[in-house]
Amino acid sequence: MAPRLFTRRRDGRVEVRLSAEGRAFVGASAREVVAAERDAGHEWGAALSAPIDPSRDADDPLAVLSRQSGFTSNAELVLATLEEAALTDAEAWAWFCTLQVALRSIAVANGLLDDDAWNARGGALVEHVQTIQALLFELAKVL
């Protein structure tokens, strides 16, 4: 059985059992989210500013600002807690949300929006996406 990357401790905190490389991977994803929010020309910019449900808030600049602030706040919290051995629920949730944003942004930026596009891709991009997915599934088990 593979070791669990995240576990719930008796004190209620979420223990992070990632290697230095795993933490560097999460940190790189969080830095990309922060960079995309601050740079309108970033390749992830379109995914970050687009509404999840276009019919609900496409014309509401306050909703867009609120969503962007949430992305940045979560990503910055991830960077601040990257070396922590255990996370609070709020910090673990920030990790989860940031990895979800990174996954969505990579999918949109690379056109990975259906099975055909996914099957046409390979190599490092597919491994990167699968690593984010694995982290999300592991983290979801303890949240």
Residue 32 domain flag: yes
- What residue numbers bound the domain in which 69 lies? 14-49+59-142
Residue 7 domain flag: no
The number of domains in the chain is: 1
Per-residue pLDDT for 113 more than 90? no
- List the 86-87 sheet strands across, edge first: 6-8, 14-16, 86-87
Going by C-alpha positions, the residue among 86, 67, 95 that lies closest to residue 10 is: 86
Q: Mind listing the pLDDT tens digit for each residue in 51-90? A: 555 555 555 555 555 555 555 688 999 999 999 999 999 9
Residue 135 domain flag: yes
C-alpha–C-alpha distance, residues 25 and 74, integer Å: 16
Residue 34 domain flag: yes
Residue 6 domain flag: no
Residue 21 domain flag: yes
